[in-house]
C-alpha cells in the first residue's frame, strides 16, 4: 500500500485496523499486527515501520519462528503447505496493476483473508499427519481454541465457518475434504 499506492503508514494502519475489527478478517493476527506496526512511532516521532522495510521480522533469539518451524515440519512430513511457504518467503505484496486505492485495498483484503484460511487449513493438515505418524492423539478442539486465542494464523471468522467440525472423536481433520 505504501510502495504501490503512495499511502502513509498511519493510513495503512487504519486500513488494517478496520480489517481487524469487522467482517471476515475480524480478530485476525496479521491485520492486528499490521495495524500496530504501521502506527508505531519511535521516541522522536518517526514511524518504526520505515526502518524495517524489506527486512524479515525475527524473534528475540534471532530466529524467524513459526514460519520456519511450520515449513520445516511440512517438508519433513511431505505435506503440501504452499501458502505457508509463500507467506514466509513473500513478506511484501508485489501486486499492483490498478490505480484505484479502493479496489487495490479490497483485493488485498481478500488476498489476506484467503491466505489466512489456506494457512489455517494447511496448519491443521500438518498437525494431522504428525499426529497420526507420532500417535499423539491431539485434541483438535483444543488446538482450534488455542489458535483462536492468539497465534500467527489467528482467524476469528474461520471459527464461525467451521462451527463444531472438530469433535474430539472425529477421525478426519483434513479440511480439504
Reading the block at residue 60, the C-alpha cell is 528475540
For cell 490498478, the residue is: 98
Beta bridge partners of 155: 28
pLDDT value, residue 135: 93
4-53 tens-digit pLDDT = 788 899 999 999 999 999 888 888 888 888 899 888 898 998 888 877 65
Q: What are phi and psi of 47, to 5 degrees?
A: -70, 125
Which class is domain 2-162? mainly alpha
pLDDT value, residue 93: 44
Mention every residue, 6+ apart, whose C-beta is less than 8 A from residue 4.
93, 95, 96, 104
Comparing CA positions, the residue from 31, 17, 40 lying closest to residue 111 is 31
41-59 tens-digit pLDDT = 989 988 888 776 544 455 5
Winning range, highest mean pLDDT, from 54-58, 60-64, 169-173: 169-173
130 neighbors 77 (Cβ within 8 angstroms): yes
Q: What is the pTM of this model?
A: 0.51
Amino acid at each position: 500500500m505504501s510502495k504501490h499506492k503512495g499511502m502513509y503508514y498511519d493510513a495503512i494502519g487504519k486500513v488494517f485496523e478496520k480489517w481487524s475489527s469487522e467482517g471476515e478478517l475480524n480478530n485476525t493476527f496479521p491485520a492486528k499486527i499490521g495495524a500496530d506496526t504501521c502506527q508505531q512511532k519511535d521516541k522522536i516521532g518517526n514511524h518504526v515501520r520505515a526502518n524495517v522495510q524489506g527486512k524479515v521480522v525475527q524473534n528475540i533469539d534471532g530466529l524467524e519462528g513459526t514460519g520456519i518451524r511450520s515449513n520445516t515440519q511440512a517438508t519433513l512430513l511431505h505435506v503440501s503447505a504452499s501458502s505457508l511457504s509463500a507467506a514466509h518467503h513473500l513478506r511484501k505484496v508485489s501486486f499492483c496493476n490498478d490505480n484505484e486505492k479502493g479496489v487495490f485495498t479490497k483485493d488485498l483484503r481478500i488476498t489476506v483473508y484467503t491466505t489466512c484460511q489456506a494457512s489455517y487449513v494447511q496448519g491443521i493438515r500438518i498437525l494431522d499427519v504428525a499426529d497420526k505418524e507420532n500417535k499423539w492423539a491431539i485434541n483438535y478442539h483444543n488446538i482450534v481454541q488455542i489458535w483462536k486465542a492468539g497465534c500467527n494464523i489467528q482467524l476469528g471468522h474461520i471459527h464461525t465457518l467451521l462451527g463444531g467440525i472438530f469433535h474430539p472423536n472425529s477421525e478426519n481433520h483434513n479440511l480439504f475434504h
